[in-house]
Amino acid sequence: MTIEISSSLMCADLLNLESEILKLEKAGTDMFHMDIMDGHFVNNLALSIDLLKAIRSVSTTPLEAHLMVENPLDYIEKAKKAGADTISVHLESTPHIHKALKEVRECNMKAGIAINPGTSHLLIEPLLEETDFILTMAVNPGFAGQEFIKSTVNKVYKINKMLEENNLTNIKIEVDGNINSETIPPLYNAGARIFVGGTSGIFFGDRNYERNIDNLKNSIK
């Protein structure tokens, strides 16, 4: 089975974003990952709904809105109107996570549930029927360039086993945080199939995106 690479636009050159998007598409990215932050759920501000709309105007590549916000229900319809294809909502961000996931689907988008490194995979089991993919954080959310949390591999394995036991293998596991050619193979073997590429996998060195994305995809033998 092949893997999918989602390029994290938070790590792109925002002063030349249209050019970056075209280069990443030519290099073979499968989707774009947009971290939308409010400065509260995570102590940082990143991309916005308005920027998502601008990106959609120049690209047909699938767009994933990763909501790192305290009130995700306030963002779902706006993200849909701006052009998002999928939305991932953090389990930790709202007591109404079931409602949020359901609303994403009602807006005809794929719904993902995101979990932080310190969140048990067992907490997502009641939500699987409302979920199209599971975004597992391999770093604490909010900032690029963090060290990979090794226990993520075991968490992905447990999530994959849980999906198999519930006959829900159609749900894909995505991993975000320090994704590179060394961290992908153990995560893949554990069951992950979508990988968010940032500063350690795509946006580094001379930023040869075609070579870097090829290296990520070819890390699975």
**Contact assessment for residue 112 and residue 82, using Cβ atoms and an 8 Å cutoff:** no
Residue 171 has pLDDT above 70, yes or no: yes
Buried b / exposed e across 188-214, counting CB within 10 Å, b at 16+? bebbbbbbbbbbbbbbeeeeebeebbe
pLDDT at residue 210 in the model: 97
pLDDT at residue 164 in the model: 97
What's the pLDDT band for 2 if we cut at 50, 70, 90?
A: confident
Distance CA(207)–CA(197), nearest Å, equals: 12
Tell me phi and psi for residue 104, to 5 degrees.
-60, -45
Distance CA(182)–CA(192), nearest Å, equals: 14
pLDDT at residue 41 in the model: 74
pLDDT tens, residue by residue, 65-122: 999 998 999 999 999 999 999 999 999 999 999 999 999 999 999 999 999 999 999 9
Helix (H) or strand (E) holding 81, with range, is helix 76-82
Which residues are part of the catalytic machinery? Answer: 35, 176
pLDDT at residue 38 in the model: 82
Residue 201 has pLDDT above 80, yes or no: yes
Distance CA(157)–CA(170), nearest Å, equals: 15
pLDDT tens, residue by residue, 175-184: 999 999 999 9
* Span 155-168, average pLDDT: 97
φ/ψ region of 145 (left if φ > 0, alpha if ψ in -120 to 50, else beta) reads left
pLDDT tens, residue by residue, 19-44: 999 999 999 999 999 999 887 777 77
Total Cβ atoms within 10 A of residue 129: 12
Of 5, 4, 21, 11, whose CA–CA distance to 204 is shortest?
11
What's the pLDDT band for 145 if we cut at 50, 70, 90?
A: low
What's the pLDDT band for 144 if we cut at 50, 70, 90?
A: low
pLDDT at residue 37 in the model: 87
pLDDT at residue 143 in the model: 64
Q: State the burial class of residue 51 (Cβ atoms within 10 Å of its Cβ: 0-12, 13-18, 19+).
A: middle
